[in-house]
Homo-oligomer: A and B are copies of this chain.
Amino acid sequence: MPRRLVTSNTDFSTAFDDLINCKSVNRYYINELVSRIIADVIDSGDLALLDYTRRFDFFDPIEIGLSIDNAEIKAAVARIDSDTRKSLELAVERIENFHRRQLPKDFEINEMLGVRVSMRWSAINSVGLYVPGGTAAYPSSVLMNSLPAKIAGVSRRVMMVPTPDGVVNDLVLAAAHIAGVNEIWRIGGAQAIAALAYGTQTITKVDKIVGPGNAYVTAAKQHVFGKVGIDNLAGPSEILVVADAQNNPHWIATDLLSQAEHDPLAQAILVTDDKAFANSVATAVEDHLVTLPRIEIAEKSWRVYGAIIVTQSMEEIPEIVNRIAPEHLELAIADPEAMALQIRHAGAIFLGRFTPVALGDYLAGPNHVLPTAGTARFSSALSVFDFMKYTTTVAADPKGLAYLGPAAIKLAEMEGLSAHARSVAIRIEQP
């Protein structure tokens, strides 16, 4: 059974803290292994990649090569049926449309006083896109990672995807093809991150690595951070559904299960102000669970991390949501926009009774790579910003220097930085 919390109970505060903290993981063992893998890739390059791929993905890459070539990609694309292809293309169109709107604008402030300052955006040269394989391969993740990079203007987009037993998912390759990925390697785990960050004999290192992965991939990203850029550290998926009693409990149950089926560590939480409705949803979850192909995963997630929170009123709910800062927030209520205005921390919000999270997972337009484990307090979905950086400029003429110089000299002197002061003063004294 998922845990039950009732806000009017005296133990609510303790139970709620337990809920928020239940997902902390001991990472010591992982960090040690990941450090070793990264060191091996730095030292032995391709040989280490071959070795770890044999050990973790159970196939011999010597026979088929670590790189996935154009012929293989074209063959995969050819095997995709036209319905699937059209669905992918609709997703591409909508994701591109949304992310294009994110493109930031340069600005310049040109003062009459002889000082011009500006902010100029540019794309990162090369990025690594990690795409999880294994228990499920996600073509949608390929689109969500690579399209923002393409729109940002990143010229080299390198995809890493593990292929357990050497089997590549046709749809993953088709998605990469449609999204314009430049290079694809059948490498996963910490070794893929190390190859992207440090390069090997055959793989040229990149400037930044993005994309969610398992705990090893995440630990490796944290390890190489600084050497290259990384996006957020991804944790298991989460959904928080706020639902009143006017919902069909089966609809809400399938929403909860749509996160639970991702990962035994995923977390699905229902928050409702109606106890009877909470019971109906719990029953509906059981009904749907038994008919799900991924019952084993979804059941573990629901039993261990699932939760139902019953409040006394709708007014209590925004604060609960803000404290959890969920990755996905569904507001299946009469006036979802009114509640959304009270939400300060959530990766993505799905408004109303007809907006299951799955729409956003695939093709609503916004990115599905979202901040997890409460990190929505300080971070956001993947976006074109993750693939860009900016340079600021300052240009002063003698008049501008005369205007700003004295204050700069004063402040430099107060900080005891006399060469700073001198670099300004010397230009004013003898212009």
Known: A381-B392, A410-B84. A423 touches B101 (CB 8 A): no
Interface size of A by CB at 8 A reads 122
A403 to B174, CA, bound (A): 23
Q: Is A348 an interface residue (CB 8 A)?
A: yes
> Is the Cβ of A394 less than 8 Å from the Cβ of B351?
yes
Q: Which residue of B lies closest to A262 (CB)?
A: B417
Name the contact of A394 in the complex, choosing from B102, B228, B359, B397 (C-beta under 8 A): B359
> Is the Cβ of B394 less than 8 Å from the Cβ of A390?
no
Chain B proximity of A130: nearest CB distance (Å): 16
Chain B proximity of A155: nearest CB distance (Å): 11
> Is the Cβ of A254 less than 8 Å from the Cβ of B419?
yes
A411 to B84, CA, bound (A): 7
> Is the Cβ of A350 less than 8 Å from the Cβ of B228?
no
Chain B proximity of A127: nearest CB distance (Å): 8
Name the contact of A430 in the complex, choosing from B97, B107, B248 (C-beta under 8 A): B248
Known: A222-B226, A348-B391, A391-B349. A251 touches B427 (CB 8 A): yes
Q: Which of A79-126 contact B (CB under 8 A)?
A: 83-84, 86-88, 90-91, 97-98, 101-102, 104, 107, 109, 115-117, 119, 122, 124-125
Pick out which of these stretches binds chain B: A45-53, A63-71, A286-294: A286-294
Q: Is A211 an interface residue (CB 8 A)?
A: no
Contacts of A394 in B (CB 8 A): 348-351, 355, 359-360, 364-366
Known: A377-B125, A412-B362. A423 touches B226 (CB 8 A): no
Interface SS of chain A: helix, strand, loop or mixed? Answer: mixed
Contacts of A288 in B (CB 8 A): 419, 422
A362 to B174, CA, bound (A): 52
Known: A136-B415, A261-B418. A362 touches B407 (CB 8 A): yes
> Is the Cβ of B364 less than 8 Å from the Cβ of A396?
yes
Q: Is A2 an interface residue (CB 8 A)?
A: no
Q: Which 8 A-B pairs have the closest CB atoms?
A: A229-B378, A366-B392, A351-B395, A87-B407, A254-B423, A257-B419, A356-B423, A358-B420
Q: What are 11 sample pairs from A and B whose C-beta atoms fall under 8 A apart?
A: A97-B109, A115-B364, A119-B366, A139-B411, A351-B395, A352-B396, A355-B396, A364-B404, A365-B394, A376-B391, A378-B389
Q: Which residues of chain A have a CB within 8 Å of any CB of chain B?
A: 83-84, 86-88, 90-91, 97-98, 101-102, 104, 107, 109, 115-117, 119, 122, 124-125, 136-140, 171, 207-208, 222, 225-226, 228-229, 233, 248, 250-251, 254-255, 257-258, 260-262, 288, 292-294, 298, 336-337, 340, 343-344, 346-367, 371, 375-381, 383, 385, 389-398, 400-401, 404-408, 410-412, 414-424, 426-427, 430-431
